């Protein structure tokens, strides 16, 4: 539940190794896996972050694994193949995906001033700092913030890359949604703390729900929704897509989500779809928005991805492939630890990483 008074940040706990490696999806450096190829050390060094620059997304690679060659690569490929699932039909695959134990874990994005952002989230939005870790050898720092423990709540993962104080959010990312008891009081607090209010409290266009919009120090928009007593205050991630029916089909079939509701608003020329793994009242959801006639958006280099829990990353990757999705990181354990993940990309280029539920729970202990 959102509190009107500023929250006091709790003591930062050590960041589990899984989280450190996953968070590199938003940081630079190391030899990387990007799309369907592994970059060389020379390519990785050419992607060094430049102070004060807004970098191209390709200069911020996904650092999820080191490149394997020779015998090591063959051993890993054989192990992955041995664990791969085999579905008798697409119906069987879809049924498994729907039954898999999934939920949204966290959303990853980059910020230019970590301390300033943490201060805004804790004092203006009522979040708590759950954990923070500086990785000087890799030149980045990450912080996890939210409204409850990570084993039961959706949280944000912020990444600060040394020397980079500006990012391009792009036109594709929309906003994050936060449910509160009183929108007006929350907006008053944001304004009193020097925050930017971009939309005053009032009913949503074409509806009755009271909302407002504010911006954080990096320009990320937050929709403040009036939802008294909500168990999951951080409740939405809104992304724009070029073909809504195609996106809905992908998230239903490849990701096992449910279409919770779909709203067409011809007066304002947009259609939105709420997708997720449970009701909006109790769970964080993905809000997909289609603006009439717009088929493509610039992604920028600020927003990174959403992490989703699964009982089996191998089956998850197979389902994604069966329904035409792109797997950009094959399923398997992260180097040096047992946490298993797989990364995918939707038809519009938005990325998600699936994380093994048991491994995730162990890393949070």
Nearest C-alpha neighbor of 109 from the set 168, 58, 183: 168
pTM: 0.80
Nearest C-alpha neighbor of 156 from the set 220, 210, 214, 212: 220
- When mean pLDDT is compared across 42-51, 93-102, 110-119, 265-274, the lowest value belongs to 42-51
Q: Are 241 and 286 in contact (CB under 8 A)?
A: no
H or E segment to which residue 361 belongs = helix 357-364
Q: Are 145 and 128 in contact (CB under 8 A)?
A: yes
Angstrom distances, CA of residue 56 to CA of 83, 137, 158, 167: 36, 23, 18, 9
Angstrom distances, CA of residue 314 to CA of 160, 330, 344, 357: 31, 8, 12, 13
Question: Which pLDDT score is estimated for 338?
Answer: 83
Q: Token digits for 167? A: 């990012």
Residue 186 has pLDDT above 50, yes or no: yes
Residue with tokens 């007006």: 184
Q: Is 200 annotated for ligand binding?
A: no
Mean pLDDT of 60-82: 42
Domain boundaries, the chain: 90-364
Q: Token digits for 64? A: 């999820």
Where in the sequence numbering do the catalytic residues fall?
223
Residue 73 has pLDDT above 80, yes or no: no
pLDDT band for 80, please (50, 70, 90 cuts): very low
Residue with tokens 């913030």: 145
Question: Which pLDDT score is estimated for 232?
Answer: 97
Per the document, the length of the chain is 365
Q: Is 287 annotated for ligand binding?
A: no
Please tell me the CATH superfamily of domain 90-364, with its number.
Answer: 2,3-Dihydroxybiphenyl 1,2-Dioxygenase, domain 1 (3.10.180.10)
- When mean pLDDT is compared across 8-17, 133-142, 145-154, the lowest value belongs to 8-17
Backbone phi, psi, residue 115, to 5°: -65, -40
pLDDT band for 60, please (50, 70, 90 cuts): very low
Strand partners for 327: 344
Q: Is 223 annotated for ligand binding?
A: yes
Mean pLDDT of 45-61: 37
Residue 218 has pLDDT above 60, yes or no: yes
Three-state secondary structure call for residue 204: coil
Q: What is the mean pLDDT of the chain?
A: 83
How many Cβ atoms from other residues are within 10 Å of residue 87's Cβ?
16
- When mean pLDDT is compared across 209-213, 337-341, 348-352, the lowest value belongs to 337-341
**Residue partners of 332: CB distance under 8 A and separation at least 6:** 76, 79, 80, 313, 340, 341, 342
Kind of pairing between the strands at 221-226 and 285-291 = unpaired
Check residue 227 and report its DSSP letter. Answer: -
**Residue partners of 344: CB distance under 8 A and separation at least 6:** 254, 255, 317, 320, 325, 326, 327, 328, 351, 352, 353, 354
CA dist 273 and 219 (Å) reads 24
pLDDT band for 23, please (50, 70, 90 cuts): low
Angstrom distances, CA of residue 176 to CA of 109, 141, 162, 213, 289: 11, 22, 25, 10, 13
* Residue spans of beta strands (DSSP E) within 126-233: 128-135, 140-146, 155-161, 173-180, 196-203, 210-215, 221-226
């Amino acid at each position: 539940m959102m509190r009107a008074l500023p929250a006091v940040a709790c003591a930062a706990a050590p960041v589990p190794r899984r989280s450190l490696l996953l968070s590199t999806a938003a940081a630079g450096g190391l030899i990387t896996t990007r799309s369907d190829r592994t970059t060389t050390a020379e390519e990785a060094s050419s992607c060094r972050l430049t102070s004060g620059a807004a970098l191209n997304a390709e200069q911020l690679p996904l650092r999820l694994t080191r490149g394997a060659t020779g015998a090591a690569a063959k051993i890993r490929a054989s192990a992955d193949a041995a664990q791969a699932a085999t579905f008798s039909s697409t119906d069987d695959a879809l049924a498994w995906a729907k039954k898999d134990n999934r939920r949204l874990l966290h959303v990853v994005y980059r910020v230019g001033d970590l301390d300033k952002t943490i201060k805004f989230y804790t004092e203006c939005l009522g979040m708590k700092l759950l954990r923070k870790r500086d990785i000087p050898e890799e030149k980045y720092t990450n912080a996890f913030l939210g409204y409850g423990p990570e084993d039961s709540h959706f949280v944000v993962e912020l990444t600060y890359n040394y020397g980079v104080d500006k990012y391009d959010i792009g036109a594709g990312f929309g906003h994050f949604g936060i449910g509160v008891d009183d929108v007006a009081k929350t907006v008053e607090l944001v304004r009193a703390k020097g925050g930017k209010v971009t939309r005053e409290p009032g009913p949503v266009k074409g509806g009755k729900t009271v909302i407002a919009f504010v911006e954080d120090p990096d320009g990320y928009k937050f929709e403040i929704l009036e939802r008294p007593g909500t168990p999951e205050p951080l409740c939405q991630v809104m992304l724009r897509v070029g073909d809504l029916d195609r996106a809905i089909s992908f998230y239903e079939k490849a990701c096992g989500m449910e279409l919770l509701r779909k709203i067409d608003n011809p007066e304002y020329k947009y259609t939105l779809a709420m997708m997720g793994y449970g009701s909006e009242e109790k769970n964080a959801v993905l809000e997909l928005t289609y603006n009439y006639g717009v088929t493509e958006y610039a992604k920028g280099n600020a927003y990174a991805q959403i992490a989703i829990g699964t009982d089996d990353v191998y089956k998850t990757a197979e389902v994604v492939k069966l329904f035409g999705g792109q797997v950009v990181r094959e399923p398997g354990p992260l180097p040096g630890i047992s946490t298993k993940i797989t990364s995918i990309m939707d038809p519009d280029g938005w990325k998600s990483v699936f994380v093994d539920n048991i491994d995730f729970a162990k890393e949070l202990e």
